Structure 1
Amino acid sequence: MRTTVAVRNISKMLDHFSQYNPSPLSIKQFIDFGRNPCERTSFTFLRKELPVRLANIMKEIHLLPENLLRTPSANLVNQWYAQSFKDLLKFKDLEVSDKILTQYDTHSLFPIRVSLAMAFSRFCESLIMIRNRHSDTVQTMAQGVLELKENYPVDQQTENSIQYFLDRLYMSRISIRMLINQHTLLFGTDLNVTSNSRHVGSIDPNCDVVSIVRDAYENARFLCDQYYLASPELQLFEHNRNMPNAPIQVVYVPSHLYHMLFELFKNSMRAVMEFHGDKETVPPVVANISLGNEDVCIKVSDIGGGIARSQIELLFNYMYSTAPQPSKSASPTVPLAGYGYGLPLSRLYARYLQGDLVLQSCEGFGTDAVVYLKALSSEANELLPVFNKTSSRFYKTTIPAGDWSNNVRHMTTGTHHRLRQPQLS
């Protein structure tokens, strides 16, 4: 009986928090707050904002096809989100005074009072636990989709719904991890940077783009050398429009940028090595980095044979990959190679802060991949999925056919139109 009541209460709170839109932050707001951090302010914001973001995506999890939700892996992801939501609800009704935090518990006749320091410490520990719990969300949900396809027929509408959902699930995950990382790095005991570091949480106010490009190239090159016993060289060019001799820097999360570039270099190197076969020398991979008034652009170009124009959008479909799929016997922390998630996830990282990742290819010659970042931190706002009637309708409505003036491909594979820029309600 108590379990039934608890489930009913959780469902009620899920309905409550899903009525609110997430509050997008700009990277400038992250930086400004991180330079003058206040743990109480962060606690007050996150204990409401995190349940809102979780509730919005959990509502969409519940709209997925029953056959997918019943797979062991997708069910596990659903359980993780439910548990994390419950963990955060413990901090919902706390009243904060100067030094005391009061909790009103329906199972107790008297309020429970604890020090702010203890409450903040417990909150930080809960955030770290939630982050660790969801560390394998991408791989586990990918495995769930594979389990669905192995056991049930999947029509085009179901595939479209899954593609739509995964874009939103993983974008939500990026945003939630960003909030958690900022709080735990600024206030937690897992702080792993020195007090002299220029980083503000996970953000580098002077992120050296060239340095990240070189790091991503060198690590991708190491893998390429191991597999092919050779690798393309890197040619790197900088173009700073306003200050030609100054380094190109941007306010950004270095790990996000590295993730994108490492994936692009891996793809380019593989294409070059396989296209040119056993030739003694192979053409280099070229990186052009430019800084303009609005954008920082990083173009990675290769002469790796290119791909047909009709195939480009397939590269951003989660279940499309030219690498072998992971075996069923793989450990829970299997690598992403084989799931086909490298490029789709990289594009989400770019779009998370209003950037983008675009591929242009000349079939028979090579491919250009361009990463766009916002040059101004005040314009780099979070792009967040919002649960509403429009999004819920997508899971039930058949996609109409398009014509030359109404390209429906963007309705099924794009991201910008679906991840609305929300306003506070």
Structure 2
Amino acid sequence: MKLTKKCMGNITKMLDFYSQFNPSPLSIKQFIDFGLSACERKSFIFLRKELPVRLANIMKEIHLLPDNLLRMPSVGIVNNLYVTSFEEIIHFEKAEVCETTLDKFCQALIKIRNRHTDVVQTMAQGVLELKESHDVDAQTEYSIQYFLDRFFMSRISIRMLINQHTLLFGGVLNGHSRHVGGIDPSCDVVSVVKDAYENARFLCDQYYLASPELIVKLHNELENNNEVRIVYVPSHLYHMLFELFKNSMRAVMEYHGSETDNYPPVEVTVVRGKEDICLKMSDRGGGIPRSQMDHLFKYMYSTAPQPSLSGDTHTVPLAGYGYGLPLSRLYARYFHGDIVLLSCEGYGTDAVIYLKALSNEANELLPVFNKTSSKFYRTPLPTADWSSQVGGNMAARQLRMSSTQGHRLPHGLEASHC
């Protein structure tokens, strides 16, 4: 869609206006309560203000990205998608609230959701284009990590709002009568675990001709029964588990090789506590050295071969751009949970998913565009304030360090918290 200069000028003004406002985070309980009342007019009035705010907040950050990344063709495509969708939403800003408007709005949301389906892959391709240009320094990597955590979290939240509205009012049934939009008020955690395992196992069997078995253990601190249920978005939990299963299976198969038929199982322990529901996935895939642990949540790092643009079928189907873990952690953090990895090199890895047990405490975690976030993209990496001894004489090095002002150590790129 080609936009005239006048049109772009109007959009820029609207972006400046809506980016002044902070997004309004909702809890899962609020999503449920609102969905049960199912008032389309109220949903429309809320979304025609909230969606532009969320879009504007992240679109302002896109323009703060390093110039060398903004010049990448794929990043330009993503930026244009957002401009088009923002323009379509603000058309409803002052529209009369009537049946015709409600119907057009719902159709517009479906169109926007479909348009943005491949945004993750397209943005990943843009980062890959930059990486292959070899025009990346530590500052650029740090900015990209910070931005992508916020960009993808914003995307998760916008899709959540759109899905809730279109599932409730768009006549699109998701096949689950008890669901409120995309939320299951009584999500059976073990059922989602087994579903994710079976699908990851199918891929594993296809590539390695074998796969590790699954062992599930339960502990319910509050109730003496054999199930753990939660008010949650099953598709989000599935996404996290599917990615972790793929990683665990790939590690087990490659660590133990083809000389054995007896691969150690992947064990999942599901625990219901007062505040948290924890899912611990344990594998015996050889673990990860501590030196690599910080890299696992970086978007510019992957241990797997990059996906082929030519559609080469010989790449490992259990891996891709390396975005599986960082995106899964964002899904967990979206409602104030988390994903933590614990590894014993030479043995295996534990991955723990934390979810809020209470729906009124599971609030959206949303990026906000302000002076602090804006400053981040322009501030140089901090000078290291810890010494690091890699080799040589420590005392001699300390003497040299004491006479050196402004010494700067190479700084590792850490996964930022949204």
The code of the aligned residue for 1:198 comes to R
SS in 2 for 1:413: coil
Displacement of 1:309? 1.4
1:216/1:262 contact within 8 Å kept:
yes
| Superimposed CA distance per residue, residues 247-297 of structure 1 (whole angstroms, 9 cap, x where no aligned partner) | 200000000000000111111111111111121211111100000000000
Measured after TM superposition, the shift of residue 223 of structure 1 is 1.0
Q: Tell me by how many angstroms 1:411 deviates.
A: 10
TM-score (norm. length: structure 1): 0.88
- Determine what percentage of the aligned residue pairs are the same residue: 70
Residue 36 of structure 1 and its aligned partner are, at CA, apart by 1.0
Q: How many angstroms does 1:51 deviate by?
A: 0.2
CA distance in 2, matches of 1:18, 1:411: 31
Return the alpha-carbon distance in structure 2 between the equivalents of residues 336 and 127 of structure 1: 32
State the one-letter code of the partner of 1:344.
P
Letter in 2 for 1:41: K
Alpha carbons of structure 1 residues 246 and 338: separation in structure 2 relative to 1, 3 Å: closer
- Structure 1 equivalent of residue 308 of structure 2: 327
Decide whether the 8 Å contact of 1:322 with 1:338 is kept in 2: no
1:212–1:306 distance in 2 versus 1, CA, 3 Å: same
* Alignment RMSD (CA, Å): 2.0
Selected match of 2:321 from 315, 326, 339: 339
Report the counterpart of residue 194 of structure 2 in structure 1.
Answer: 214
Question: In structure 2, do the counterparts of structure 1 residues 403 and 250 end up closer, same or farther at CA, with 3 Å as the change threshold?
Answer: farther
Shift of residue 226 of structure 1?
1.1
Residues 264-273 or 354-363, more deviating: 264-273
Q: 2:146 aligns with which of 157, 164, 167?
A: 164
Q: How many residues are aligned here?
A: 391
Could you list the per-position Cα deviations for residues 25-47 of structure 1 after superposition, in whole angstroms to 9, with x for gaps in the alignment?
A: 00000001111110000000000
Do the aligned residues in 2 keep the contact of 1:164 with 1:412 (CA within 8 Å)? no
Partner residue, 1:88: 89
Cα offsets for 1:360-394 (capped at 9, x unmatched): 00011100000000000000000000001111111
Deviation at 1:244, TM superposition (A): 2.3
Structure 2 counterpart of 1:314: 295
Cα separation, partners in 2 of 1:157 and 1:168, compared to 1, 3 Å: same
Matches within 5 A, 1:212-251: 212-251=192-231
Given that 2:297 and 2:415 are in contact with CA atoms closer than 8 Å, whether structure 1 keeps it comes out as no
Q: 1:54 to 1:123 in 2, by over 3 A?
A: same
Contact 2:332 2:353 in 1 (8 A): yes
Summarize the Cα distance change of 1:409–1:248 in structure 2 as closer, same or farther, 3 Å threshold.
farther
- Whether 1:268 and 2:248 are equivalent positions in the alignment is yes
The residue number in structure 1 matching 2:47 is 46
Is 1:199 aligned to 2:200, yes or no?
no
User: Which residue number in structure 2 is paired with residue 9 of structure 1?
Assistant: 10
Is 2:137 the partner of 1:176?
A: no
| Aligned counterparts of 2:269 and 2:411: Cα–Cα separation in 1 | 28
What is the one-letter code of the residue matched to 2:293?
Answer: I
* CA deviation after TM superposition for structure 1 residue 93, in Å: 1.4
Would the alpha carbon gap of residues 24 and 415 (structure 1) be closer, same or farther in structure 2, given more than 3 Å must change? farther
CA contact (8 A) 1:302 1:366 kept: yes
After superposition, give the CA deviation of every residue in 1:76-118 in whole Å (9 maximum; x if it has no partner).
000000000000010011244xxxxxxxxxxxxxxxxxxx111
Cα 1:338–1:364, aligned 2, differ >3 Å: closer, same or farther?
same
Which shows bigger deviation, 50-59 or 225-234? 225-234
Mean alpha-carbon deviation: is it higher for 262-271 or for 378-387? 262-271
- Aligned partner of 1:46: which letter? L
Q: Structure 2 matches for 1:121-140, cutoff 5 A? A: 121-140=103-122
Post-superposition Cα deviations, 1:173-199, rounded to whole Å, max 9, x if no partner, equal 0000000000000000323336xx110
Unmatched 5+ stretches in structure 1: 97-115, 420-425
Amino acid aligned to 2:349: T
Whether the aligned pair in 1 keeps the contact of 2:335 and 2:363 (CA below 8 Å) is: yes
8 A contact 2:197–2:245 mirrored in 1: yes
Q: Say if 2:144 is the partner of 1:143.
A: no
Query: Any conservation in 2 of the 1:163–1:317 contact (CA below 8 Å)?
Result: yes
* Unpaired segments ≥5 residues, structure 2: 388-408
Deviations 1:143-182 (A, max 9, x none): 0111112225210000110111111110000000000000
Q: Is the 8 A contact 2:288 2:349 kept in 1?
A: yes
* Matched residue type, 1:84: S
Contact between 1:164 and 1:413, CA under 8 Å: does it hold in 2?
Answer: no
In 1: Cα distance, 2:154 partner to 2:274 partner = 29
| Residue identity in the other structure for 2:182 | S
SS of aligned partner of 1:323: coil
Mapped to 1, the partners of 2:87 and 2:73 lie a distance apart of 21
Distance 1:337 1:275, change over 3 A: closer
Task: Tell me how far apart the structure 2 counterparts of residues 342 and 28 of structure 1 sit (CA, whole Å).
Answer: 28
CA distance in 1, matches of 2:82, 2:296: 28
What's 1:305 paired with?
A: 286
The Cα of 1:404 is off from its aligned counterpart by 5.4
Contact kept? 2:204, 2:318, Cα under 8 Å: no
- Structure 1 stretch 288-297 or stretch 262-271: which is displaced more? 262-271
Match of 1:70 in 2: 71
- The answer as to whether partners of 1:336 and 1:342 remain within 8 angstroms in 2 is no
**Residues 381/410 of structure 1: CA separation in 2 closer, same or farther (3 Å cut):** farther
Which residue does the alignment assign to 1:26?
Answer: 27
C-alpha distance in 1, partners of 2:267/2:196? Answer: 13
8 Å contact from structure 1 (residues 207, 249) kept in 2? yes
Which aligned pairs between 1:387-406 and structure 2 lie closer than 5 A? Answer: 387-403=369-385
- Give the equivalent residue in structure 1 for 2:330: 348
* C-alpha distance in 1 between matches for 2:361 and 2:379: 34
Deviations 1:383-410 (A, max 9, x none): 00000111111111112134459xx999
